[in-house]
Amino acid sequence: MQAEKISISLSQSLLQFIESYKIAKGCNSPSQVIEVALELLRNQELESAYRQASSEVDSAWDLTVADGLTDETW
């Protein structure tokens, strides 16, 4: 994986949090802390999308499930 350098501006309190987290969790750099945070955010978004998708009901699927056919082969 090739990393690309970007520039961001953060409040002093966020910078302090990043430094504290880096030390407490043994991260190698502030960039690694940001990577961890972004992975957590991505997972949170995926969980939300999966939760929404699972709550959607497809009436056509109910008909398919109830058609009496099985995947079993004899």
Work out the pLDDT band at 22, boundaries 50, 70, 90: very high
Distance of CA 47 to the CA centre of its chain: 7
Biggest CA pair distance of the chain: 68
The fraction of the chain above a pLDDT of 90, given in percent, is: 59
Name the E strands within 1-74. none
Residue 12 banded pLDDT, cuts 50, 70, 90: very high
